[in-house]
Chains A and B, each alone.
Chain A
Amino acid sequence: MPDWLRLSPEEWTAVRLSIKVASWAMVASLPLGIFIAFILARRNFWGKSILNVLVHLPLILPPVVTGYLLLLSFGRRGPAGAFLEQCCGIVFSFRWTGAALACAVMGFPLMVRAIRLSIEAVDQRLEAAAGTLGASPAWVFATVTLPLILPGIIAGMILCFAKAMGEFGATITFVSNIPGETQTLPSAIYTFTQVPGGDAGALRLTLVSIVIAMAALMASEVMARRIGQRIEPE
């Protein structure tokens, strides 16, 4: 490997942190994402359109605005942030957890959208059939609905992960750009471009970003195809 491709320890730290932040953002928001997607797809309730708008808002708002709103509410002095610190000792501001929260919020609409579409595609007559075979609604969801929407869930997770890997605006606004704590790949690349002679570092991290993105996409493709073969309809 040519020397200029070798990552410095600081760059490795940024790569590892990015993967950690994106993974946490993806996994932690998954249960809520499935729940929100399910009620948006299947239930009618007062305020459904408001919930839908709220979920999609980070997609449309400038990321800096989302980040600032997170700072206001989840910062140490913010209502949610103060409450969480007192009750559970969870601190978001200027920590990697805050970066994960910002990434989760930004990736959430993409995740919910993919899962919701797959729930809407499920043949509800299969669920009715499972009911006549003695399965309670919770069991129907676990044994019929969930396996059938698995490709949608995987697609949603990958989209969320990819968004989290690339998240910049909200993260830097909310938790700043602290090497080793909140400096993810995009922040690190941005930092490199701001200093003289940083081109090589920026290019290395750019290549790493491309490789991670492609690997994630290919993994999702393979998994979706394998599951798709199992559940192709009659």
Chain B
Amino acid sequence: MTLSVQLKRRLGAFDIDASFQSSGGLTALFGPSGSGKTSVINMIGGLISPASGRVAVSGQVLVDTAAGIAIPRHKRRIGYVFQDARLFPHLTVGQNLRYGRWFTSPDHRYANLEGIVDLLGVGHLLDRRPAALSGGERQRIAIGRALAASPRLILMDEPLASLDEARKAEILPYIERLRDEMKIPIVYVSHSMQEVFRLATDLVVMDNGLVTAAGPIAEVALRTELLPQAEQAEAGAVLDMVVVDHDPAFDISLLRSAAGDMRVPGLGALPGAAVRLRIRARDIMLALDPPGRISGLNVLAGKVSAVGPPHGAHLDITIDCNGQPLVARITRLSAQALEISHGREVFAIVKSVSLDGATAAPTKRANTMEI
């Protein structure tokens, strides 16, 4: 699946001018409220029309204003999960789930209703009315309803924004299963860093109607300056790693990636499982010599590949660890004392990691672990 988007439209006081490409997986549209994210997916889904632009999914052109193409929304086969669920109040949960299936031609039908009901764990709700559901249940049904129409792409507009933390934790694994097991391409609008880092394979950062960065999440995450001020503390590199061993005596898992091996406690994931670690820039210390006799388990050797602009008392240093970049946030004072510059060999001491997305079922999710 490839998604290619190029859209322009005036909206209220500002102009949206968004272009990006994505190749399947989960593409997160990230940005502050009012940055035009929802308008972009509304144009992809055909809920509003662009002034000019082009949208193509897997080579099929859905909109091309230059060629006069604008496929109406009911023929696009693009599912949409709204922030406010929008279940049909006059239908039961089961009828809601079957609604879109009815309009899908048999050639395009790939969704299996029982499979979806199982995947979302909603079998016991089928005879209820939407009014009798909790917020989390409603959102699960909304996801199932979009999925049951066998879409080629699903748009999600902050599907978790109206839910509390417990309900969010309830939904997140289902979205991961959509991404990993059903391989449905998803475009996911969010202003929550945690959701984005946990779910996204690709990241498109928007600000004021414009795309400021787009690409695989591991690349875009390194550009810490793109994040809004309020989220700066969460900035850091994303590493997709594989569990290679688990030591039950100490409850330590051994993870492997290009950057080197890491030991993480309390992961609970079995060997072979893929896990995504986020290492916040502020959780990395830099040393010029290999540190000995310290409690930190994870020391990664690398070379400074970029020194970011100073912000306040700090600097963000990008370190290339055998091809896998990390970002460390240190004070300007330390940078001067260590004579940090491009190409300098350093050792990154990782103090803690956030476990963001695991395809296996670890006991703890989205937790930050001191190591």
Contact = CB atoms under 8 A, between A and B. Distances in A.
A135 B99 CA distance: 9
A133 B80 CA distance: 8
Contacts of A130: 88, 99
Contact of A232 (B88, B103, B131): B131
A135 to B, nearest CB: 5
Most chain A C-beta atoms within 10 Å of own C-beta, residue among B45, B74, B85, B87? B74
A43 interface: no
B174 to A, nearest CB: 19
Interface string B75-97: 11111101011111110000000
Most chain B C-beta atoms within 10 Å of own C-beta, residue among A130, A134, A135, A136? A134
A120 B77 CA distance: 28
A139 B47 contact: no
Nearest to B142: A129
A126 B78 contact: no
A131 interface: yes
Q: At the interface, is chain A mostly helix, strand, loop or mixed? A: helix
B74 A136 contact: yes
A132 B73 CA distance: 6
A129 B103 contact: no
Q: How large is the interface on A (under 10, 10 to 19, 20 to 34, 35 or more residues)?
A: 20 to 34
A231 interface: yes
Interface string B295-317: 00000000000000000000000
Interface string A107-149: 0000000000000000101101111111111011001100110
Contact of B78 (A132, A139, A140): A132
Q: How large is the interface on B (under 10, 10 to 19, 20 to 34, 35 or more residues)?
A: 20 to 34
Contacts of B100: 133-135
A133 B111 CA distance: 13
Contacts of A231: 89-90
A230 interface: yes
Interface of A: 123, 125-126, 128-137, 139-140, 143-144, 147-148, 230-234
23 contacts: A125-B84, A130-B99, A131-B47, A131-B74, A132-B79, A133-B79, A133-B103, A134-B74, A134-B75, A134-B100, A136-B74, A136-B103, A137-B74, A139-B103, A143-B99, A148-B89, A148-B90, A230-B90, A231-B89, A232-B131, A234-B85, A234-B89, A234-B130
By Cβ-Cβ distance, the 9 closest A-B pairs, closest first, are A134-B103, A133-B100, A132-B80, A129-B86, A231-B90, A147-B90, A131-B73, A131-B74, A133-B149
